[in-house]
Structure 1
Amino acid sequence: DEVLAYYRRCGVRELVCEEKQMGSRAVLVVCRDPATAQRRFGIEDGSAGICYTRTGRRFFTDAGLEAGILDHVRRAFERSELWHTLATDWAILDAEVMPWSAKAQQLLEDQYAAVGAAARMSLAASVGALEQAAARGVDVGELLSRCRIRAESVAHYAAAYRPYCWPVHSLKDLKVAPFHLLATEGQVHVNQTHAWHLETLDKLCAAGPDLLCAIDRRRVILDDMDSSGEVVRWWEELTANGSEGFVAKPLDFVCTGERGLVQPALKCRGRAYLRLIYGPEYTERLELLRRRSLKGKQALALREFALGVEGLERFVAGQPLRRIHECVFGVLALESAPVDPRF
């Protein structure tokens, strides 16, 4: 409801709400062949694409795995005839690569799993000792109840990340969910609606279903209470079934209101996933979380979005690399700003 209310205040009429895939963000640069990569990107090593992290680092350390993914996407472009439809021989995709553990295994082991294991062991010992004390007639009822509640919260915390993890031994263990067709020859597709992006990428996914998966979504008319109610119920169903939640976006890729640029997207996550962000017992501090200020983070997000679009526009227009790097370095500077990434 808060997400919908924000966009109503901004004067947005229609949203596209996309199910949030719990993986790792990736940018895929896919060329039709090595000759295209050399001509358009100056790459001379014989490759025909690359997968980047959202911060511009190489996504895969396994070159064979990366090549397999890019080849699969390339063949999907061929089978769907999107090379012809879009009049291009290269494309840049914004996507989610799953499972989360494929890229974040170390993070899972060092942070989430370690916290869960330590908390389970310590609380199990505490509950056991308190139960023994209670059996001897010691008045520990309140403390025992508190420890049992904490142990239950930790169990929910550990259960929250398990659905996002599975072993990855080969290409067949991965899934890629593209949600933006960022650019092709002569075009940066910010002039298209999010509905167009998803419908175009549906064709790509249908042509490569072994790896590619389409994004489930709902459109909502914000001044229609029935439409708004339906999307809220859909979110409740998603999160009840273990989904992270959804991402709400104005129908227009670039949307402006009375105060200027509107946030291009807002994540609306469920309680289970938020335990990973704020800790096992975050539900006891909801009022404190609601009072935090998000203005700084939102301002940075808008600047990064504008710089990213400008960088793509300059690249597609064939401007010198130094002009593109102006935008890149601007984004890197904003990324280094001391803002809590959880907000």
Structure 2
Amino acid sequence: MTTPHSACLHESGGFPYRGQWPTDGWLGVQLAPFQLLAGGERTFEDHDHGWHLGFADRLVQADPELFRRTRRLIVDTGSARSIDDGIAWWTELTARGGEGMVVKPYPNLIRSKDGLVQPGLKVRGREYLRLIYGPDYLEPAELARLKQRRLGHKQSLALREYALGLESLRRLVTGKPLWRIHEAVVAVLALESDPVDPRL
């Protein structure tokens, strides 16, 4: 059961980052979808994550050699027990070598009085964070320094990229000329050139 306070947790990347296997060209490559962006003449950001994951699961059923199920957990953020279950899920996931998870609002697209709400947040595991911040990042002085970082610019950038991504999809499904679609796509690329600490 989902509530207005539900969140959907996805295994980041769908594969443990240590999990690799040989392939023969494209044979053996697998995709782990968790959201359908657009199809036909419409976009699907207005569908909740249950709908998207159901679609992804049908792809896995149709072709299990190409598609792989993305591990997920629905968490009711209004329930302490459900939150504890989410923490335990993340702990187990990262303890076995997983990169982390992505937390998304279950309803998917959400607008607040201030505009779009960030569509997802990556929650990395400790080992992954050691690669990014160094082996001593859990030392009290280092944690204090990391907590002082200003994340507003990075969050603003993510929201602008999200809005431009939605705009490019809408232009695509409504049959706009290719150059109009590319306007929004190139704008996302331009935002990527904005100097932001890549470790954030």
Tell me the TM-score normalized by structure 2: 0.89
The letter for the 2-side match of 1:298 is Q
Instruction: Name which one, 1 or 2, has greater alpha-carbon Rg.
Output: 1
1:19 pairs with one of 3, 11, 35: 11
State which of 135, 142, 150 in structure 2 corresponds to 1:280. Answer: 135
> Is 1:324 equivalent to 2:184 in the alignment?
no
Contact 2:14 2:71 in 1 (8 A): no
Give the match for residue 268 of structure 1. Answer: 123
Partner of 1:209 in structure 2?
64
Which residue of 154, 178, 182 maps to 1:297? 154
Unaligned runs of 5+ in 1: 1-11, 24-98, 100-160
CA contact (8 A) 2:165 2:185 kept: yes
Which residue of 1 is the match for residue 105 of structure 2? 250
Aligned to 1:341: 198
* 1:192 and 2:47 matched: yes
Partner SS, residue 171 of structure 1: coil
**Equivalent AA in structure 1 for residue 198 of structure 2:** P
**SS at the partner of 1:15?**
strand
Per-residue deviation at 1:203? 0.5
CA distance in 1, matches of 2:119, 2:12: 15
Residues 299 and 265 (structure 1 numbering): CA distance in 2 closer, same or farther, change over 3 Å?
same
**In the alignment, structure 1 residue 175 sits paired with structure 2 residue 167:** no
Question: Residue 219 of structure 1 aligns with which residue?
Answer: 74
Aligned to 2:87: 232
Across the aligned residues of Structure 1 and Structure 2, the Cα RMSD in angstroms comes to 1.9
Q: SS of the counterpart of 2:92?
A: helix
Contact 1:22 1:244 in 2 (8 A): no
1:220 shift after superposition? 1.2
Relative to structure 1, is the Cα distance of residues 292 and 164 closer, same or farther in structure 2, using a 3 angstrom cutoff? farther
- Is contact 2:49–2:108 with CA below 8 Å preserved after alignment? yes
Q: After the TM superposition, list the runs of 4 or more consecutive aligned residues in structure 1 that deviate by more than 4 angstroms.
A: none
The answer as to whether partners of 2:14 and 2:32 remain within 8 angstroms in 1 is: no
* Distance across 2 between alignment mates of 1:204 and 1:168: 21
Residues 33 and 69 of structure 2 are in contact (CA less than 8 Å); yes or no, is this contact kept in structure 1?
yes
Kindly tell me the number of residue pairs found equivalent between the two proteins: 195
Letter in 2 for 1:232: I
1:315 corresponds in structure 2 to: 172
**How high is the sequence identity, in percent, across the aligned residues?**
47
CA distance in 1, matches of 2:29, 2:134: 28
SS in 2 for 1:267: strand
Task: Give the secondary structure class of the aligned counterpart of 2:65.
Answer: coil
CA distance in 1, matches of 2:25, 2:168: 34
Tell me the distance in 2 between the aligned counterparts of 1:273 and 1:296: 23
CA distance in 1, matches of 2:91, 2:76: 18
What secondary structure sits across from 2:7 in the alignment? strand
For 2:184, the aligned partner's letter is C
The offset of 1:205, in angstroms, is 1.0
Secondary structure in structure 1 of the residue aligned to 2:66 = coil
